Chain A
């Protein structure tokens, strides 16, 4: 389905006023000024180029916005391990879990889960890696080689014992209510670096567990919702619907668009003033430019063979996720602000932990390592924040004989690049890896830290809707200063 809502010219909306609040923002034109300016017949786009200021008057604009403070990261690539990878089998090494395998958990398990209280040791061995000496299990050998670039948060916790709530919490900061997604907030706060492309792209998002709500804009202007490529963890032909014509040749379409714009111009002349028609004229221009620009960016065949190989493109297991990661890098390079790459709901091993996690690692580990290496080689890791994680982790206690249940009580997420301290681990779970106990980082804290790295104060990025100001972090969230470089 198409959710390509890109680059709108300027506000024609009667929606609530007030864009970004806070002293750091540029001077804003009043509504009257905005209308006057558009009356000159100059579209928002043209004006953006001239002053860069007009765009702030319109929330429907993707024009670059001035951040609240100097940003460390210009963009985000979020690698979503949907289903919830197990922390105690990847980054959270727990010798006591090994020792006490099969014994009862010596404290209470979380409410409303199916796992028995029997501890289940990890089938994978852990070793220290890199100069920093952080622990990584043998499940992720490729990622382990980049551990010196990672900032591993081992004390994540979140809300939602079921996927739906936890996935929503991760993506929107709410486990129950309809709220804009992180990417939409970032787009709203910062706009895009490339007017020919969307500011927020979600690669192969799941249709379940909230589906579009996880990359939607809720009450934010529609332009900030993600454009999607592929779905449910599968990239497919990486085409965006309606971005090409099946019946008209490009000559025919060009002639048609010329006629269309002449009609629109006539219409505008007849009415003398109409911002909506000006907007329509610009959006036809923009649409046509995108139709020409986007296919190039989406075409990973343009990458040299050795780069494709590094990502595992063309190789059975890694081909799909490799192409997704490579596409993410191409989009990042082209100026897309927020990119999410989804595995699809794969990591949910209530049973078959060993074979399931093994397979998922095989699908994703090499492409992710290649993405880190590639960003680094291009000097992009410095200002690209890469985030890896699931909606929750898994219990150190067993479900069935070879499975683990959901665990929002404690899990691991890692960050890389974009202004975080590399080669460190932050926070701790208890001895068995169940509950986050030390330097706990709530999902709200992760969100506020991500925004902080992008130059946004999460308390000042607000939107007025239904009688009050909304924030991504609601009334919560503390920036985790200890992990900032």
Chain B
């Protein structure tokens, strides 16, 4: 690309003053100091004087002025490791390789940068075109450069190379060791191996675990941790009873029951959806609806409910479509699972599709890295990872696999990419039904189109007939044809059902003869109908036999017909009644297409104007045409009704998934230098993270992306990270803090494990137990560590205020979903059944990119919150305010905030107040039932029942007193309000207000 819009002299004017001075002074310098003899090149060869002069005049000053600030030995910071203050510096180059290829300007990165082609240098502004030309010439002439100073040692920092062997010594990359249960002093405390590991650390720190949690607290904790819902008052009562007999057995029974509940998958599936940055729309620039993403959601929930081995779960999400399958169901599942790779947010309207592709690959790599391995791969996109042993080469080795995977496919509108929708296997019958439906529909649509165009033509004909009944129209269908003519309807408009053309063949051997009966002796305007456009014959010979003679005229059919775009006048001629007019269109001497549509004669009066008769509706032709039109219209109506009926009875659409496929082009990816997709280095052979892989270089199946091999490597028991990362996630959700607190980052900048041996032991157990999530959950929940109270202890607090060593249990908030679900559960409104698509009825885009865009109407649902629509950029407020995982990012650990918006929502949301009122009804009727007395339900019983239902505990007597007072005061104002505003906003009952207050309390959303 070159832009030579600047004149040389103007260049000088537009050039910054400084540069001008340099250029001028350089000229002077060369005049004065230029040595007579040729100077030596840096490589010892002589430089011819003219070339040297050129360098000194045109090149050196520009380099000094525009480049030295960042690219010379004296620069404060050398950018891109590139020095341009010596010949060697340019030849050797920086991060992007040599800056110049001698003799080849078009291949020299320096020239590309000056042209602002990909890289833009200098950054302050593109240099004038003639300066760029000078550089091109200079490179072409061999880049003569006398500057011999080689860079001072130490100026260029030696490239830091990553020592992989040293990297493998970092705890996270070391092999997993199955540690023995450690010895502890207090042998009575541990209930399990986990407890021994924990107690050992406590004892070493001189700490003692606090007491066990009381049974109510424990039960509430277990319920929320396993299924995300509170226990019912009945479940509490039953547990308390059995707890007295055998506490551990009581707990075991509850845990086993909850693990079998379908609500377990709902709750634990959502944990994984946080990591998978699950959403029902794209977000970003074009918030396109992911119509099928919910199938992935359901797949995840189902996988946890079925306790799918986690290694299988990993494999399916990366390469489910490539895994061997035994039946269609398995294949479906595998395809849906790869939605994991699809769900990231993408800048779909990026016009540079190569850039978009690399951005999508980056998003996928980041997600795979963090979700399965807790490594931050994204850091290695532009340079070797600064903290972890991940060279850029590894990043592009993995990128090659994902670049060979199809994540984008086609465009939904110009410049806006869209994604593959993969059809899922379907029943033969279903396939046949859909095929038949589509065929019938296509046929019907074609018929409708035909009959519509017929009606239009008839309408036009009627219009013409009415306009001038004295026009005598003869359609091509009535002409006497000689030779073979081709019928067509391609160019519109036309008279009748189409027109004919000569197919540009057998010229001179074809003609069309129109005979027109003349009703009255008069002068007539003779017209020919044709569709004029380029490619037609421009000299169509037409002979007209009239009353006095036969004439031949020539018509240019390349021109559009001037009358209504359909007719061209051939001239005015006299005709006698009963002596028919004969008009013959010939193809003789023509080259392009000859078009024949119709001939029309219009009677003229003496002045030469058309004679317009009274329009007679009785005209036979008109009548007939009208009848034809009526028939056509009726037929159209019938066909449209048929189509509607067909659509109404359409078979369900074939199942499809948002899923990846293999790309058309499979292969390795070039290293993008500094992350620039247009600055390509050598190819990185596809492979894995070297630091977490040992053995011979991996091989990949031919013509496959390599996802299968990638999945096998990540899900391998040899992988140092996968099992560790996932058991740590489980631990984090159950204990409140991961053994590695930074659950998505096991790198050097992440947190160190507090109990590394325990982490390894759990990872080993996990794999030995067939990668079973449920077994791991059970193992942790049944430990004494899990059952600790969250009680404060001053002495322990002084040593370990955050209870990193677990001398007490971590208090924690319940997740956003549980807040909403508990409210619905307390009010008795919660629907525990699964829900289907949350985005049914939404179009291609959730939100249009226009001014005054309306916000979408949110589907109201009483299902569990996991089924709410997760529209990027329009998250359900109830979830968003309570630290829901941002679906734009991988979130293994949700942020914990404490902000007024949370209080405002709970205090003012109509939804929360409505549920509080419904809960009040529930309490009232249950107490009434208990007392078997509808009128005088005891206030105390009501308060106790309320606390039991909302907080799963009994109120203290002080709490009862305060609630009683509140109810009394609120009831008084209740009556007053009811008097005042019969039509005003719905007031709340006193009990409703009390429950509403409990919903807003810190205790309601906290696990102790």
A211 to B379, Cβ gap below 8 A? no
Note all chain B residues with C-beta closer than 8 A to A256: 907, 993, 996-997
Closest B residue to A252 using CB positions: B973
B284 to A223, Cβ gap below 8 A? no
Note all chain A residues with C-beta closer than 8 A to B388: 467
Query: Which of A140-148, A276-284, A323-331, A368-376 lies at the interface with chain B?
Result: A276-284
In the complex, how many angstroms separate the beta carbon of B112 from the nearest chain A beta carbon? 15
A242 to B908, Cβ gap below 8 A? yes
**Does B170 sit at the interface, judged by CB under 8 A?**
no
In the complex, how many angstroms separate the beta carbon of A171 from the nearest chain B beta carbon? 12
Closest A residue to B283 using CB positions: A213
Q: Point out the residue from A82, A163, A276 that lies within 8 Å of B898, measured CB to CB.
A: A276
Q: Among B1, B125, B351, B851, which residue has the most Cβ atoms of chain A within 10 A?
A: B851
Interface size in chain B (residues, C-beta < 8 A): 111
Query: Which of B236-244, B293-301, B829-837, B885-893 lies at the interface with chain A?
Result: B885-893
B902 to A283, Cβ gap below 8 A? yes
B347 to A164, Cβ gap below 8 A? yes
The answer for the CA separation of A242 and B124 in the assembled complex, in Å, is: 48
**Does A299 sit at the interface, judged by CB under 8 A?**
no
Note all chain B residues with C-beta closer than 8 A to A161: 351-352
Tell me the interface secondary structure of chain A in the complex.
loop
A439 to B125, Cβ gap below 8 A? yes
A259 to B966, Cβ gap below 8 A? yes
B350 to A274, Cβ gap below 8 A? no
Query: Which of B51-59, B622-630, B875-883 lies at the interface with chain A?
Result: B875-883
A266 to B959, Cβ gap below 8 A? yes
The answer for the CA separation of A6 and B899 in the assembled complex, in Å, is: 6
Q: Point out the residue from B874, B977, B997 that lies within 8 Å of A260, measured CB to CB.
A: B997
**Does A5 sit at the interface, judged by CB under 8 A?**
yes
**Does A334 sit at the interface, judged by CB under 8 A?**
no
**Does A53 sit at the interface, judged by CB under 8 A?**
no
**Does A149 sit at the interface, judged by CB under 8 A?**
no
The answer for the CA separation of A13 and B898 in the assembled complex, in Å, is: 9
B849 to A243, Cβ gap below 8 A? no
Query: Which of A124-132, A182-190, A305-313, A430-438 lies at the interface with chain B?
Result: A430-438
A176 to B910, Cβ gap below 8 A? no
**Does A27 sit at the interface, judged by CB under 8 A?**
no
Number of chain A interface residues as a range: 35 or more
Q: Among A231, A249, A439, which residue has the most Cβ atoms of chain B within 10 A?
A: A249
**Does A1 sit at the interface, judged by CB under 8 A?**
yes
Closest A residue to B346 using CB positions: A176
The answer for the CA separation of A2 and B880 in the assembled complex, in Å, is: 9
Tell me the interface secondary structure of chain B in the complex.
loop
The answer for the CA separation of A35 and B803 in the assembled complex, in Å, is: 12
In the complex, how many angstroms separate the beta carbon of B851 from the nearest chain A beta carbon? 3
The answer for the CA separation of A155 and B873 in the assembled complex, in Å, is: 32
Q: Point out the residue from A82, A211, A221, A440 that lies within 8 Å of B895, measured CB to CB.
A: A221
Note all chain B residues with C-beta closer than 8 A to A259: 962-963, 966, 994, 997
**Does B654 sit at the interface, judged by CB under 8 A?**
no
Query: Which of A65-73, A84-92, A338-346, A377-385 lies at the interface with chain B?
Result: A338-346
Q: Point out the residue from B852, B988, B996 that lies within 8 Å of A232, measured CB to CB.
A: B852
**Does B154 sit at the interface, judged by CB under 8 A?**
no
**Does B979 sit at the interface, judged by CB under 8 A?**
no
In the complex, how many angstroms separate the beta carbon of B852 from the nearest chain A beta carbon? 5
A242 to B904, Cβ gap below 8 A? yes
Note all chain A residues with C-beta closer than 8 A to B848: 208
The residues in B between 858 and 888 inclusive whose CB is less than 8 angstroms from any CB of A are: 873-874, 877, 880-881, 883, 886, 888
Q: Point out the residue from B1, B2, B801 that lies within 8 Å of A35, measured CB to CB.
A: B801
A213 to B379, Cβ gap below 8 A? no
**Does B166 sit at the interface, judged by CB under 8 A?**
no
B904 to A291, Cβ gap below 8 A? yes
The residues in B between 896 and 918 inclusive whose CB is less than 8 angstroms from any CB of A are: 896-905, 907-910, 913
Q: Point out the residue from B801, B901, B910 that lies within 8 Å of A5, measured CB to CB.
A: B901
Given A263-B997, A430-B5, verify A467-B376 contact (CB < 8 Å).
yes
A168 to B347, Cβ gap below 8 A? yes
The residues in B between 791 and 813 inclusive whose CB is less than 8 angstroms from any CB of A are: 792, 797, 801-802, 811, 813
**Does B737 sit at the interface, judged by CB under 8 A?**
yes
Given A5-B901, A287-B900, A440-B124, verify A13-B895 contact (CB < 8 Å).
yes
The answer for the CA separation of A8 and B3 in the assembled complex, in Å, is: 55
B993 to A162, Cβ gap below 8 A? no
A4 to B347, Cβ gap below 8 A? no
In the complex, how many angstroms separate the beta carbon of B216 from the nearest chain A beta carbon? 13
**Does B126 sit at the interface, judged by CB under 8 A?**
yes
Q: Quick one: CB contact mask for B179-207 with A, threshold 8 Å, 1 for yes?
A: 00000000000000000000000000000
A247 to B1001, Cβ gap below 8 A? no
Query: Which of B135-143, B498-506, B741-749 lies at the interface with chain A?
Result: B741-749
A108 to B896, Cβ gap below 8 A? no
B895 to A178, Cβ gap below 8 A? no
Note all chain A residues with C-beta closer than 8 A to B873: 207, 210-213
**Does A222 sit at the interface, judged by CB under 8 A?**
yes
Given A264-B1001, A276-B898, verify A287-B907 contact (CB < 8 Å).
yes
A260 to B877, Cβ gap below 8 A? no
Closest A residue to B286 using CB positions: A164
In the complex, how many angstroms separate the beta carbon of B61 from the nearest chain A beta carbon? 18
The answer for the CA separation of A291 and B905 in the assembled complex, in Å, is: 11
In the complex, how many angstroms separate the beta carbon of B860 from the nearest chain A beta carbon? 15
Note all chain A residues with C-beta closer than 8 A to B379: 466-468
A438 to B852, Cβ gap below 8 A? no
Note all chain B residues with C-beta closer than 8 A to A343: 851
Note all chain A residues with C-beta closer than 8 A to B905: 2, 242
**Does A286 sit at the interface, judged by CB under 8 A?**
yes
Note all chain B residues with C-beta closer than 8 A to A287: 900-901, 903-904, 907
Q: Quick one: CB contact mask for A1-25 with B, threshold 8 Å, 1 for yes?
A: 1111111110011110000000000
Given A108-B3, A176-B347, verify A242-B386 contact (CB < 8 Å).
no
In the complex, how many angstroms separate the beta carbon of B858 from the nearest chain A beta carbon? 10
The answer for the CA separation of A431 and B362 in the assembled complex, in Å, is: 39
Q: Quick one: CB contact mask for B957-972 with A, threshold 8 Å, 1 for yes?
A: 0110011001001100
Other A-B contacts than A107-B4, A280-B1002, A467-B379, 8 sampled, CB-CB below 8 A, are A1-B877, A107-B2, A160-B350, A211-B874, A242-B904, A287-B904, A431-B5, A466-B379
Supply 18 A–B pairs (Cβ within 8 Å), ascending by A. A4-B900, A6-B901, A7-B900, A60-B898, A82-B851, A165-B347, A176-B359, A207-B855, A222-B897, A223-B899, A232-B851, A248-B993, A255-B973, A256-B993, A259-B962, A259-B966, A271-B792, A466-B745
Closest 8 CB pairs of A and B: A164-B285, A107-B3, A344-B851, A467-B376, A279-B898, A208-B849, A287-B900, A211-B873
